[in-house]
Amino acid sequence: WELISTIAEGYRLLRSCACEDALSIFQSLPLSHQNSGWVVCQIARCYFEMNNYGEADVYYSQVRKVEPYRLEGMEYYSTVLWHLRKNVELAALAKELVGIDKTTSEAWVAVGNCFSLQKENDLAIKFFQRAAQVSPWCAYAYTLCGHEYVTKDELEKAAGCYRHAIVLDPRHYNAWFGLGMVYFRQDQWGLSLYHFDKACKINPMSSVLRCQVGKCFRESGQHETALAHCLAAVKLDEQNGRAKFEVAKVLVELERYDEALALLERLRDSTFADAPVYFLLSKIYKHTNKPGEALLNLMTAVDLDTSQIGSTGHMFAMGDESGANMMVAEDSTLFENSESNLDESESDSLCS
């Protein structure tokens, strides 16, 4: 009875999005139970919910070895492989799951993720709809379908999918978040914040969700409130470079350039150094009358953006990149010459 109670408590914590606590409980079980397929699958799910896709991959791979015919939970494994951009492994998983049972949502979600990774959005939608057809109660299939519609900029269809997912599972925070993103893209800040707040109440430990709330406040001009939420996001996950970048953007809006510069320079020296970091650095150097440094960072941003073109898909739930090329196009007079006369336009990019 004590063993069952412990496992049940771990599962309750996982469903309550208290993933670190759930992980501690599952990993405290006797090895004979800890290494069972079901428990290993729950451990993998904990890492998945914590956005630690590398560790999730390790444990889901272990599940496949222990119970090669397990279908439960494999839809999340396919999403892990999607995030890790493991094309071959994802295709193999999808083929295996369809071979085991083609009447399950897990199999068709994996196929949909496979096509999504190849940027075949219409085919991905078709297979996510197939997953919902064979398992009408599968909220996750509707949510992924919504993500694909967002990628195609068909926001009304996306909103319909998210609403259906919420009806099926009111605690499915991914759907609340997706619906918030739809309103965010439509500049409806009030509705966006309402849905993000719903998602945060279900999963209060998510740094990504908290950061998105901060971004929404920033877009609506409430910079001090935005800063508080973004700092809270960083506190929840010190490894969340997107949240740190959002903090820097708010600091720039508040004209606290020294603080923003210090933070961005740390990001630049980390693995998070992508195009928007260098672009924002160029804006700070522009405002601090360092046109040479501004030009150098802008050119680096353009070079990086060119090499990063093509990263799309339902990662939009983690943010959306306008890209340095778009920023330069919108800010065509950023430099009247290579040394000075920096333009004052306020180009921006969205990332989390």
Task: Identify the CATH number of the domain in which residue 148 sits.
Answer: 1.25.40.10
Regarding whether 349 and 278 lie in a shared domain, the answer is: yes
Which range marks the domain in which residue 349 is found? 274-352
- CA 113-116-120 angle, to 5 degrees, is 140
Q: pTM value?
A: 0.81
Identify whether 161 is part of a domain. Answer: yes
The domain tally of the chain equals 3
DSSP state of 318: G
Give the residue ranges of DSSP H helices in the chain.
2-15, 19-26, 31-34, 37-49, 53-66, 74-83, 87-100, 105-117, 121-134, 139-151, 155-168, 173-185, 189-202, 207-219, 223-236, 241-253, 257-268, 275-287, 291-308, 324-330
Regarding whether 236 and 180 lie in a shared domain, the answer is: no
pLDDT at 346 over 70: no
322-338 residue pLDDT tens: 333 333 333 433 323 22
19-67 residue pLDDT tens: 999 999 999 999 888 889 999 999 999 999 998 999 999 999 999 999 9
Q: How far apart are CA 210 and CA 16, in angstroms?
A: 17
Confidence of residue 295 (pLDDT cuts 50, 70, 90): confident
87-126 residue pLDDT tens: 999 999 999 999 999 999 999 999 999 999 999 999 999 9
Lowest mean pLDDT among 111-120, 240-249, 294-303, 339-348: 339-348
Regarding whether 305 and 320 lie in a shared domain, the answer is: yes
End-to-end CA, the chain: 44
**What is the longest distance spanned by two Cα atoms in the chain?**
76
145-181 residue pLDDT tens: 999 999 999 999 999 999 999 999 999 999 999 999 9
Regarding whether 349 and 282 lie in a shared domain, the answer is: yes
Given this model, what pLDDT does residue 77 score?
96
Given this model, what pLDDT does residue 312 score?
35
Last residue of a domain, one of 171, 200, 229: 200
Regarding whether 237 and 164 lie in a shared domain, the answer is: no
